[in-house]
Structure 1
Amino acid sequence: MLNKLKQWWTLDATEEAQSDDNPHLPLTPSQRRNAMPLLALAFGWGFLVTGLLTGGALGKGLAFTPDLLTASFLGNGMNFVIGALVGYIGYKTACNSGLLYRFTYGNIGAYIPVLFVALLTIGWQGITVGAFGFAWAQSFDSVTFYLVAIGAGILFTGTTYMGVAALEKVSMPSVLMLVAVGIYATWLNIDTTGGWQAFFALSEQQAAKSPMSMYDAVNLVVGSWIVGAIVMADYTRFARKAWVAIAIPFVVLIISQWFLQIIGSMGGIVSGTYEFTTYMLQQGPWIGFFGLIAMSLALWTTGDTNLYLPAVQTASVFKRPKRVTTLLCGLAGTILGLGVYQYFLEWINLLAALVPPVIGPVIVDYYLVNRKRFNPEKLDHLHKWNPLAVMAYLIGAACATAITYHVVLPLSDVLFPSLYGLLMSMISYFVLSVVAKVLAAKKPQLA
C-alpha cells in the first residue's frame, strides 16, 4: 500500500511525457490539438458564472446603453489584449504558464508567481463549486447546497484528473445548449418588461438609485477575468496555428464574457438577480430544468478548466505528477467553495490589483529583452532567481494596491488599478533590465 502511494506521489518523467498534456516540458507537435475542440473548450471556459455576476453588478449602477455596453466592451477588450500577448507566447514556445515563469523569474523564483496565481485560481475553483451548489439549492445555508457543492467539487476533480481530452468532451456538448438558454433568458427579460424601450427606461431608473462610475465599472470587468488572461498560455500552447492562439482569448473574452455580462445585467435589471436559473425556475418546471442543466454544464466546464490551471502550474514548478496536484487543488477548491462564493466582489477587487503585475515581466522579457528567444531546451539550466522580475512584480503590485485603496488620490479616479499595476511591472522590469545590462558591460572596465 505504501509503495503504491509512493509511486502515485512520485514523478515519473517518462509517464508524464506520454500523456496528452505533459506539464513538465513543452508540448510536442503530436500533443497539439485541432482548432474546433480547442475553440469549443474556450467557449465553455469563457462561459463562467463570473460574467453573470459581473453583469449583475454592472446592471445595478449603469444604464444598459451606452454606459454598460461600453464598460463591458472596454474591460473585455483590455483583457483580450493581455490574453493575446500571453497566448501567443504559449503558442510559440508550447510552454504552460509555470514553465514561462521559470524563464523570467528563475527555477526557484518561479515559485512566487506560481504559488500566488495557484492560490487565486483555486479561489476561482471555489467560486464555481459554490455557484453549482447555489444553482440547485437556491440558497447558501441548506443541506442541499453543501451536498451538491461537495458533489460538484468531486465531479470537477474527477474530470480534470483525466486530462485535457476529458475537458474537450465535456465542453463540446455544452456549447449549443448554453447559447440556446442564454438567448432564451435574454428574450424572457425583454418580454417581461414589455419591449426594448421599456427595458431601457427601467435600466436608467435602476442605475439612478446607486450609480457606478465608468472607472469602477471597467475595473470590475477587467478584474473579473484578468486571471484568465494571464494564464492563457496554458490553453494556447495546444494550438497548431497562430490564428487559433489569438482566437482562443477572443472567444473567451470578447464573445463568451460579453454575452454573459449582458445576460447577467438584464437579469439584475428586470428580475433582481443575475442568476438566470432563479428566474427561469419561476417560469415552470420544464424551463427551469433546462436552465439548471445549461448552468450545470457551464459550471462543469468552468470548474474543470479553473482546476486545470493551478494543477498544471504547480505540477510544473514542484515537479509532481499532475494527478497529485489535481487532487490537492481540487480538494482545496471544494472546501473553499462552501464559503467563498458569497464574497465574489471582494475577491474581484483583490485580483484586479495583485494579479496583472505577475505577467508583466514575462511579456517584457519575451518580446523586448530576449526578443522571442525562450529556449525550452535550457529549462533545467536557467538561473535560480531573477531578482529583477521579483522587484518589478512587487513595484507593480504596490502601485496597483495604492490606486485601489485610494492611497494616491490624484490618480485614483483616472487610472485602472489592474492595468496600472501591469504597466508599472512592465516598465520596471524593462528599466531594471537595461540598467543591469549597462552595469554588467561596465564591470570589466571597472576591474
Structure 2
Amino acid sequence: MSKTKDHNFSQEAVPPSAKKGAISLTFIMLSLTFFSASMWAGGKLGTGLTFSHFFFALFIGNLLLGIYSAILGYIGAKTGFSTHLLARFSFGRKGSWLPSLLLGGTQVGWFGVGLAMFAFPVSKATGINEYILIGVFGFLMTITVAFEGIKALLYLSIIAVPAIGILGCYSVWVAVNDVGGLHALMDITPSEPLPFATALTIVVGSFISAGTLTADFVRFGKRARHVFIITIISFLFGNSLMFIFGAAGAASVGQADISDVMIAQGLLIPAIIVLGLNIWTTNDNALYASGLGMANITGLSSKTMSMVNGIIGTLCAVWLYNNFVGWLTFLSTAIPPIGGVIIADYFMHKKRYQSLANGSKRKINWISLVAVAVGIICAKYLPGVVPINSVLGSAMSYIIMTLLARQLRLSRGRK
C-alpha cells in the first residue's frame, strides 16, 4: 500500500491537511477514557475502599495518568508521529520493535477483554452462546476500524460518549437510592480492605497501556498545547467517571463485575445497548493502536495488521477476561518504562524529531533496552506506586546512561 493511501499514516508523520480541531480530539479522547474495563476496576475499588480513600486514590491516580499521557500526547502532536515511530528515535529502527510488540500486544489483550465484557451479559440476557457473540461482534468491531480508521473512532465517539454518561449517572442514582441515600453509601465499610498502594496501582495500571499510546490518537491535533490540556481533562473527568460508575454500583450490591451490577439494578437491556457502544469505541481504539504497532514491525499497512490483531483478540477473549487482574499487574510493570524512555529522549534531542530519517539511523539503541529493564526492576523492588516507579526509573536511568555514553565518546575523541 502506498503512503498516499494510508490514511492512518502508520509510516509517516500526520500532514497538516489531516490535522483535526480540539472538539474532534476531545470526543476521541473521552471515548478512549470512557473505558468499560475502568468500571470493572472501579468495582474492585468500590468493594475494597472506603468512600474517602476511593476518591483520593482516584484523583491521584488519574492526575498521574493524565500528566504522563499528556506529555506523550504533546510530543505526538508536536511531531505528528505515532508512538511506534517516536520509539524509533529512542530505541532505534529495529529496537522499536520491542515497544511495538509490547504495546500492540497489550492492546490486542484489551480488545479481547472488552469483547468478553460485552458478550457475557448479552448471553445472560438472550441465551445466545457467548462464543457465538464473541465471534460475531469481534468480526464487526474489527472491520469497522480496519476500513474507517480514525474516522470510525470519531463517529462512534460522538454517539457513545453522551450515551454512557447518561447510563452511568442513572446507575449511580439507582445505587444511592438502593442503599438508602448518599450518606449510607459513604458509610459502607469494605469487608476485605484493599491497601491504598494497591488501589493506586489499579487506577494507573488499568490505563497505563492506552496512556502510553496517547500519541497515536492525538498526533492529529493542530495545536500541541491544546492536546496537553484535553488529555489531562479527559483522564480527570472521563476515566474518573468510569471508576465512579463502577464503584457506586459495586458498593451497593457487593459485586465487582459491572455486568452483575447492571443485572442487579434491572438495567441489563439499556446496558447491553449503551455499554455495547462504549466497548465498541474502546475496542476500536485498541485495535487501531495495535495495528500501528505491528505495522512498525512488519512494514505492512496498519489496516492489515488491525484485522489480524482483531482475529487474535477474538480467539483469546475468554482467557484474557478470566485473567484480567494478572493482566493489570503485567501492564503496570512492563509498559510504563517505554513511555519514560520516549519522554526522556525527546526532551534531550528535540531537533532529531524534525525528520523520521533521524529515527532510522541506528538499528538498536541498547541504552533504551537497559533503561526499560531498570524501570521494570524499580517497579518490582522499590516501595510506592508500581507504574510511577517504572516510569521514573527508566527515564532517569536513560538520561544518566545517555550522558555517560556521550561523555565517554568525547573523551575518546580527545585522545
- Residue 324 of structure 1 is matched in structure 2 by 304
SS of residue in 2 equivalent to 1:338? helix
SS of residue in 1 equivalent to 2:323? helix
Shift of 1:34: 2.6
Paired residue total: 413
- Residue 374 of structure 1 is matched in structure 2 by 353
Q: Tell me how far apart the structure 2 counterparts of residues 341 and 360 of structure 1 sit (CA, whole Å).
A: 28
Q: Tell me how far apart the structure 1 counterparts of residues 360 and 211 of structure 2 sit (CA, whole Å).
A: 28
- Residue 155 of structure 1 is matched in structure 2 by 140
Asked if 1:134 is matched to 2:120, the reply is yes
Asked if 1:225 is matched to 2:207, the reply is yes
Q: Tell me how far apart the structure 1 counterparts of residues 372 and 245 of structure 2 sit (CA, whole Å).
A: 35
8 Å CA contact retained: 1:52, 1:261: yes
8 Å CA contact retained: 1:39, 1:251: no
- Residue 82 of structure 1 is matched in structure 2 by 68
Kindly provide the amino acid, as one letter, of the partner of residue 358 in structure 1: I
- Residue 406 of structure 1 is matched in structure 2 by none
8 Å CA contact retained: 2:57, 2:196: yes
Q: Counterparts in 2 of 1:411-426, with a 5 A limit? A: 411-412=382-383, 415-426=384-395
Out of 182, 196, 200, which is 1:214 matched to?
Answer: 196
Q: Tell me how far apart the structure 1 counterparts of residues 259 and 370 of structure 2 sit (CA, whole Å).
A: 45
Identity of aligned residues (%): 26
SS of residue in 2 equivalent to 1:62? coil
Q: Tell me how far apart the structure 1 counterparts of residues 302 and 210 of structure 2 sit (CA, whole Å).
A: 20
Q: Tell me how far apart the structure 2 counterparts of residues 71 and 283 of structure 1 sit (CA, whole Å).
A: 26
Out of 18, 22, 34, which is 2:9 matched to?
Answer: 22
- Residue 216 of structure 2 is matched in structure 1 by 234
Q: Counterparts in 2 of 1:343-358, with a 5 A limit? A: 343-358=323-338
8 Å CA contact retained: 1:277, 1:295: no
Q: Tell me how far apart the structure 1 counterparts of residues 265 and 65 of structure 2 sit (CA, whole Å).
A: 35
8 Å CA contact retained: 2:99, 2:338: yes
- Residue 289 of structure 2 is matched in structure 1 by 309
SS of residue in 2 equivalent to 1:339? helix
Q: Tell me how far apart the structure 2 counterparts of residues 288 and 117 of structure 1 sit (CA, whole Å).
A: 33
Kindly provide the amino acid, as one letter, of the partner of residue 236 in structure 1: V
How big is the alpha-carbon RMSD for the aligned residues of Structure 1 and Structure 2?
A: 1.8
Q: Tell me how far apart the structure 1 counterparts of residues 359 and 375 of structure 2 sit (CA, whole Å).
A: 28
* Cα 1:319/1:379, change in 2 over 3 Å: farther
- Residue 270 of structure 1 is matched in structure 2 by 252
8 Å CA contact retained: 2:108, 2:290: yes
Asked if 1:52 is matched to 2:39, the reply is yes
Structure 1 residues without counterparts, runs of 5 or longer: 1-11, 404-410
Per-residue CA distance 1:56-113 (angstroms, 9 max, x = gap): 111121101x100000111111111110110110010000011001011011111111
Shift of 1:196: 0.9
SS of residue in 1 equivalent to 2:379? helix
* Cα 1:200/1:173, change in 2 over 3 Å: same
Choose 392-401 or 21-30, whichever is displaced more.
Answer: 392-401
* Cα 1:379/1:328, change in 2 over 3 Å: farther
Shift of 1:378: 1.8
Q: Tell me how far apart the structure 2 counterparts of residues 359 and 212 of structure 1 sit (CA, whole Å).
A: 28
8 Å CA contact retained: 2:253, 2:264: no
Shift of 1:22: 1.4
Q: Tell me how far apart the structure 2 counterparts of residues 233 and 362 of structure 1 sit (CA, whole Å).
A: 11
Per-residue CA distance 1:266-303 (angstroms, 9 max, x = gap): 1111122345554444555xx53222211001000001
SS of residue in 1 equivalent to 2:357? helix
Q: Tell me how far apart the structure 2 counterparts of residues 49 and 324 of structure 1 sit (CA, whole Å).
A: 26
TM-score (norm 1): 0.88
Shift of 1:176: 1.7
Asked if 1:341 is matched to 2:315, the reply is no
- Residue 365 of structure 2 is matched in structure 1 by 386
Q: Tell me how far apart the structure 2 counterparts of residues 372 and 63 of structure 1 sit (CA, whole Å).
A: 48
Q: Tell me how far apart the structure 2 counterparts of residues 394 and 336 of structure 1 sit (CA, whole Å).
A: 28
Kindly provide the amino acid, as one letter, of the partner of residue 248 in structure 2: M
Choose 245-254 or 187-196, whichever is displaced more.
Answer: 245-254
* Cα 1:31/1:93, change in 2 over 3 Å: same
Kindly provide the amino acid, as one letter, of the partner of residue 343 in structure 1: N
TM-score (norm 2): 0.95
SS of residue in 2 equivalent to 1:210? coil
Shift of 1:329: 0.7
Asked if 1:176 is matched to 2:162, the reply is yes
Q: Tell me how far apart the structure 2 counterparts of residues 59 and 199 of structure 1 sit (CA, whole Å).
A: 10
- Residue 409 of structure 2 is matched in structure 1 by 440
Per-residue CA distance 1:362-399 (angstroms, 9 max, x = gap): 111111x2145412242574211111111111111122
8 Å CA contact retained: 2:28, 2:217: no
Q: Tell me how far apart the structure 2 counterparts of residues 422 and 81 of structure 1 sit (CA, whole Å).
A: 12
- Residue 108 of structure 2 is matched in structure 1 by 122
